[in-house]
């Protein structure tokens, strides 16, 4: 087994190489690679990709996302394990274990993980290095029915039920759209001004700074602007030949990544929020809002949902989740779900027990996926 390492300085050369062009399965999309190279937390010797070969056959890869933790006001350079893929022809040959062990060594055990599959969790458990760091109870709220796609995503074998489920969705949404007509937030929105922004300025960041002081991943202006400008997902055909070369999502039929700041009648900024809208599924990676006006921000979110005909919204932010439950909403169903963060034992030992652990919905690679 041979493991090749790609740092920032040789990633661009790899993308332009004959090897990359001929790969049936590529370890990174071009726009994801560009995003990695623009990461303000990236250091010169950081390993971004680990490529595994067995007898000159490409056997798998592991990706990392360099980042910084805020530990009692001091920066700690770490990496998130971001993607792990094993060639189906090379399974049960120790590929995943080899890649994980090497990443563990290279990053000196300073690793975290979020958004992992049950299958990947088994590989992490075998390393006997990761423990649960914290968990968040989130909520998925449903605005419109999309059962035929959800069931297909859950199990491809459900394709035989796709047509009747699609008919059910159409009939349900016909009546549901009539119900949604009664939810009109225009009157409430007269109290605020929503400005779409492509870059966070000093005034907007002043608001953010009032809310992120205790975040374990304390996003500064540069890192938030990086997330806004360099998404890992683009709008395009997910079934194209190029898209299928990459095992993880890189294109979506419908995709929006938008950021807004909200102002009150006195022109004061009271909220910043980032929207990740993919195939009518909305996530809010970053949400910073003054508590006394959070109900106004919630009304703006609901108006955005209705305007874009969103099917469902996923939220892990505790304050935002609480507001969704406490105020009237247009949802016909709410379902709770859990997000768990894993951390290496060594990294966890370096974090004081008294430090509050606050993650935002977009931390790790969650803002990009």
Residues 93 and 220 in one domain: no
Per residue in 53-111, pLDDT tens? 999 899 999 999 999 999 998 999 999 999 999 999 988 899 999 999 999 999 999 99
Q: What is the pLDDT of residue 164?
A: 85
Q: How confident is the model at residue 340 (pLDDT cuts 50, 70, 90)?
A: very high
User: Is the residue at 350 inside a domain?
Assistant: no
Q: How confident is the model at residue 118 (pLDDT cuts 50, 70, 90)?
A: confident
Cα–Cα distance, 44 to 68 (Å, whole number): 14
Structure tokens at 105: 């060594």
Residues 166 and 285 in one domain: yes
User: Is the residue at 369 inside a domain?
Assistant: no
Q: How confident is the model at residue 185 (pLDDT cuts 50, 70, 90)?
A: confident
Cα–Cα distance, 84 to 61 (Å, whole number): 6
Closest to 89 measured CA to CA, from 66, 111, 60, 118: 60
Residues 186 and 318 in one domain: yes
Beta partners for residue 84, in sequence order:
62
Cα–Cα distance, 204 to 201 (Å, whole number): 5
User: Taking all residues of the chain, what is their mean pLDDT, rounded to a whole number?
Assistant: 93
pTM for the predicted model, two decimal places: 0.93
pLDDT of 184 > 80? The answer is no
pLDDT of 155 > 80? The answer is no
Q: What is the pLDDT of residue 301?
A: 96
- Alpha-carbon torsion angle 299, 305, 307, 311, nearest 10: -150
Per residue in 282-317, pLDDT tens? 999 999 999 999 999 999 999 999 999 999 999 999
As a residue count, the chain comes to 369
pLDDT of 47 > 90? The answer is yes
Structure tokens at 142: 């449903």
- Which letter, b or e, does each residue of 105-141 get, where b requires 16 or more Cβ atoms within 10 Å of its Cβ? ebbebbbbbbbbeeebeebbeeeebbeebeebebbeb
What's the domain range around 22? 2-128
Check which CATH number belongs to the domain holding 27 and give it: 3.40.630.30
Cα–Cα distance, 18 to 53 (Å, whole number): 17
Residues 186 and 291 in one domain: yes
Radius of gyration of the chain (CA): 22
User: Is the residue at 349 inside a domain?
Assistant: no
Beta partners for residue 70, in sequence order:
75
Of 100, 128, 156, the residue that ends a domain is 128
Helix (H, G, I), strand (E, B) or coil at 57: strand
Residues 223 and 299 in one domain: yes
Residues 202 and 124 in one domain: no
Residues 120 and 142 in one domain: no
Q: Which helix (H) or strand (E) holds 49?
A: strand 47-54
Residues 114 and 149 in one domain: no
Q: What is the pLDDT of residue 95?
A: 94
Cα–Cα distance, 96 to 59 (Å, whole number): 9
pLDDT of 187 > 80? The answer is no
Check which CATH number belongs to the domain holding 251 and give it: 3.40.630
Cα–Cα distance, 117 to 125 (Å, whole number): 12
Total domain count, the chain: 2
User: Is the residue at 133 inside a domain?
Assistant: no
The number of CA neighbours under 13 Å toward the Cβ of 143 is: 23
């Amino acid at each position: 087994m041979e493991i090749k390492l790609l740092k920032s300085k040789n990633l661009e050369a790899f993308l332009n190489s004959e090897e990359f062009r001929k790969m049936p399965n590529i370890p990174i999309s071009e726009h994801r690679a560009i995003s990695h190279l623009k990461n303000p937390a990236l250091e010169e010797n950081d390993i971004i990709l680990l490529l595994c070969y067995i007898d000159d056959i490409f056997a798998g890869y592991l990706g990392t996302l360099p980042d910084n933790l805020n530990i009692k006001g001091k920066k700690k350079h770490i990496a998130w394990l971001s993607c792990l893929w094993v060639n189906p022809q090379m399974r049960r040959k120790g590929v995943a274990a080899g890649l994980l062990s090497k990443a563990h060594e290279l990053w000196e055990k300073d690793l975290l993980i979020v958004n992992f599959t049950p299958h990947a969790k088994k590989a992490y458990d075998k390393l006997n290095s990761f423990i649960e760091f914290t968990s968040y109870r989130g909520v998925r709220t449903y605005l419109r029915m999309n059962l035929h796609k959800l069931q297909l995503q859950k199990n491809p074998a459900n394709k035989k039920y796709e047509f009747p489920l699609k008919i059910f969705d159409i009939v349900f949404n016909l009546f549901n759209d009539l119900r949604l007509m009664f939810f009109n937030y225009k009157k409430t929105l007269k109290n605020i001004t929503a400005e779409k922004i492509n870059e966070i300025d000093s005034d907007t960041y002043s608001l953010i700074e009032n809310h992120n002081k205790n975040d374990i991943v304390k996003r500064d202006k540069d890192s938030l602007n990086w997330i806004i400008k360099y998404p890992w997902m683009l709008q395009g055909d997910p079934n194209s030949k190029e898209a299928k070369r990459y095992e993880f999502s890189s294109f979506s039929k419908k995709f929006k990544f938008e950021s807004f700041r909200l102002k009150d009648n006195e022109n004061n900024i009271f909220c910043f929020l980032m929207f990740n809208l993919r195939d009518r599924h909305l996530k809010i990676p970053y949400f910073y809002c003054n508590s006394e006006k959070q109900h106004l921000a919630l009304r703006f979110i609901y108006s955005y949902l209705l305007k874009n005909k969103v099917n469902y919204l996923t939220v892990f932010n505790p304050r935002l989740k609480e507001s969704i439950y406490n105020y009237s909403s247009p949802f016909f169903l709410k379902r709770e779900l859990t997000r768990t963060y894993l951390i290496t034992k060594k990294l966890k030992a370096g974090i004081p027990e008294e430090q509050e652990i606050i993650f935002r919905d977009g931390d790790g690679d969650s803002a990009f996926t």
